[in-house]
Structure 1
Amino acid sequence: MFETLKLETDARGVVTLTLNRPEKHNAMSAQMLAELTEAAACLGTDAKVRAVVLAGAGKSFCAGGDLAWMQAQREMDAETRSAEARKLATMLGALNALPKPLIGAVQGNAFGGGVGLACVCDVAIAVDVAKFGFTETRLGIIPATIGPYVLARMGEGRARRVFMSARLFDAAEAVQLGVIARVVPDEALAEAVEAEVAPYLACAPGAVAAAKQLARDLGPRIDDVVVDRTIAALAARWETEEAAEGIGAFFEKRKPGWVVP
């Protein structure tokens, strides 16, 4: 059914939704975004599904945007770039609104949109060797479409510690920032995720969905106006000389002009 994802369902109705592009460090292509959006719709309406675990295959959880997808956007006009940004925003919104518990199993590094994925989970557990970072500003662009979910999880004050600097941070700091609930050794990840899943199996599914909806309603506003603003902000950055220089330098394997020796 899916080419970039793997879905496995156990006898209890617990679905493991795995990003399955390990050779690309699970970087998000346009196809993966579409498939994640479709998967969220299918799982959200399936009464047999009691909980969803979001995982990654291979060494990385998610490296952010796919390089080929990013390179293609260099040649697009502003309207088309906005449409591409909306694909990411739509996917994040679908997972954020999933009426099932969503538990993140972060088994490796998460950068850019990968951190965004962790932030739309109701709870995320990471291995102790995982690294995180909002690396967009190194390229002259900004972490725009993931921004509402990152700010909702971290709060503005904590987000500003890492949101603009592209600094990598470890799993322990990810806990301090609120991205991750707790950190465990690699061999303990499955057990830790199961400990998050198990309580939901004793709860009324409808009540869980209603409680999650209420939490979202009472939390920071993430509506069409907010999403449109993030898309416009990202599209505007793509039009700047900094974006052209940063992304060009990345693909040319050189340092952009603003790097101070």
Structure 2
Amino acid sequence: MSVTLTITKTQVAILELSRPEKHNAFDDIVISELIKCIEHANSLDIRALVLKTDGKHFSAGADLGWMKSMAGNNFGENVADSEQLAKLMSVLANCPHPTLCLVQGAAFGGALGLIACCDIAVATNKAKFCLSEVKLGLIPAVISPYVIKAIGERQARRYFLTAEVFTADVALDMGLIHDISDDLAHSEAHFLACLLNNGPQAVKSAKALIDEVANNAIDDALINHTAKRIAHIRVSDEGQEGLSAFFEKRAPAWQNAAKQ
């Protein structure tokens, strides 16, 4: 199989796409495998999900051979194929666990959707990015909700239309990635250490809170909701443990568990 899911002793799910001979491009089979793995990870009691790929490049996006085969399909068949890609983006974006994406080499087309769907993204200094769809007479439709949310409408107006290749520095400036590192293994260890240092339920609740607040107007309903949110977690077992550990000047239980 070209997609593997491994659960570490520290309850971290490592999702790896290994199709280096195709520059980790995805076709219908790869998309199906990714969906199954992510859905399985979403159902587990884990601390984080790491998305990475094997080889020189992160991903060339959609497999050209697969795209060529779809060109002969009718409209309904193309909709069905696109809905699978849309499902992949959705299950990744709605993963309840914190997600970390590690990017090396080229990340083109649909690969930017995978990056944008993750909570944290790190790329090497030599990574290259491109929303290349219009070069093929296509548009980045399925990934657009996630990419535009990450980089903003103004940047999308440029890069969706020009299909320019841009650098990791530009990707960092526009918000597609969060950090640049030539040692992805070190960055992976750093961010996982940060995540594992925090309350597991608090991290998941904080992630859910972002979606709730970012997509709603600041009104009385939202204000009341956030007040109830903090009250609920403050009286939870994890909240009580965290507060007690702080005042007693000791490590909370989840930090000790992460070291075992």
Range into which the TM-score falls when normalised by the shorter chain: 0.7 to 0.9
Q: Does 1:136 align with 2:133?
A: yes
Instruction: Let me know the Cα RMSD of the aligned residues.
Output: 1.3
Instruction: Specify which of 22, 25, 31 is matched with residue 23 of structure 2.
Output: 25
Q: Does 1:58 align with 2:55?
A: yes
For residues 219-258 of structure 1, the aligned pairs below 5 Å read 219-220=214-215
Instruction: Specify which of 140, 145, 153 is matched with residue 142 of structure 2.
Output: 145
Aligned equivalents of 2:198 and 2:18: distance in 1? Answer: 30
Aligned equivalents of 1:44 and 1:189: distance in 2? Answer: 24
In structure 2, the partner of 1:68 is 65
In structure 2, the partner of 1:161 is 158
In structure 1, the partner of 2:41 is 43
Q: Does 1:90 align with 2:116?
A: no
Aligned equivalents of 1:219 and 1:31: distance in 2? Answer: 34
Deviation at 1:18, TM superposition (A): 0.8
Aligned equivalents of 2:186 and 2:143: distance in 1? Answer: 29
Q: Does 1:199 align with 2:194?
A: yes
In structure 1, the partner of 2:97 is 100
Instruction: Specify which of 184, 191, 200 is matched with residue 189 of structure 1.
Output: 184
Instruction: Report the secondary structure of 1:164's partner residue.
Output: helix
Aligned positions, number: 216
Higher relative contact order (CA 8 A, sep 6+): 1
Instruction: Show structure 1 runs of 4+ deviating over 3 A.
Output: none
Check whether the contact 2:131–2:159 (CA below 8 A) recurs between aligned residues. Answer: yes
Q: Which structure is higher in helix share? A: 2
Q: Does 1:170 align with 2:132?
A: no
| CA-to-aligned-CA distance 1:141-168 (integer Å, 9 cap, x gap) | 1000000000111111122221211110
User: So what's the TM-score if we normalise by structure 2?
Assistant: 0.80
Structure 2: segments with no counterpart, 5+ residues: 217-260
User: So what's the TM-score if we normalise by structure 1?
Assistant: 0.80
In structure 2, the partner of 1:180 is 177
| CA-to-aligned-CA distance 1:5-61 (integer Å, 9 cap, x gap) | 1223221112221111111011011011111111111111111x2111100100110
2:207 alignment partner AA: K
Check whether the contact 2:4–2:37 (CA below 8 A) recurs between aligned residues. Answer: no
- State which structure, 1 or 2, has the greater radius of gyration over its C-alpha atoms: 2
Check whether the contact 1:127–1:184 (CA below 8 A) recurs between aligned residues. Answer: yes
Deviation at 1:174, TM superposition (A): 0.7
Aligned equivalents of 1:77 and 1:218: distance in 2? Answer: 40
| CA-to-aligned-CA distance 1:76-129 (integer Å, 9 cap, x gap) | 000110110111100000000001110011022100111111101101000111
Q: Does 1:126 align with 2:123?
A: yes
Q: Does 1:214 align with 2:212?
A: no
Aligned equivalents of 2:202 and 2:98: distance in 1? Answer: 11
| CA-to-aligned-CA distance 1:200-227 (integer Å, 9 cap, x gap) | 2122222222221221233359xxxxxx
